[in-house]
Amino acid sequence: MNRLTCQKEFDIRFSEVDSMGIVWHGSYSLYFEDAREEFGRQYNIEYLYIFEQGFYAPIVELHIEYKNPLRYKDRARIEISYRHTEAAKLIFDYKIFNADSGKLSATGYSVQVFLDRDFNLMWDVPAFIRQWREKYL
């Protein structure tokens, strides 16, 4: 099975930093989302593609562990990896680093499920996801 992963570098924005001078913890969910989009672009499974197949893929679980703070003007790097499951889910693992020092800043994971356009939960893996797994894994 292939390990599907990609990464992205980004700058810390002034508005993401709180009065302690470090990135506000809530901003990390945005970094994770940026990483999912980057993954989607690279592996052809973008939100819009999922939507065109007739589905939403909302987040149902989000977990973040904060190791070392990021500060304004830091350059950061996020790694996202696809974690395989047989279930009708998309699971991603994340690692955020300070891109200059290489220090680990945060880790986490997210779980997404599939809903049809009427917001019904899909218990079975949608066909387009099965095909995607066959192609890429």
**Which residues lie near its own copies (CB under 8 A)?**
11, 13-15, 17-22, 24-26, 29-30, 33-34, 37, 46-48, 56, 58-67, 69, 72-73, 119
**Dihedral sign for Cα atoms in the order 36, 67, 28, 101:** negative
The nearer residue to its own copies, 73 or 130, going by C-beta atoms, is 73
- At closest approach, how far in Å is the CB of 102 from its own copies? 19
The nearer residue to its own copies, 12 or 129, going by C-beta atoms, is 12
Determine whether 10 is exposed, middle or buried from the number of CB atoms within 10 Å of its CB (0-12, 13-18, 19+). middle
Apex 96 CA angle, 90 and 81, nearest 5: 30
The nearer residue to its own copies, 25 or 130, going by C-beta atoms, is 25
Two tokens, residue 110: 């997210």
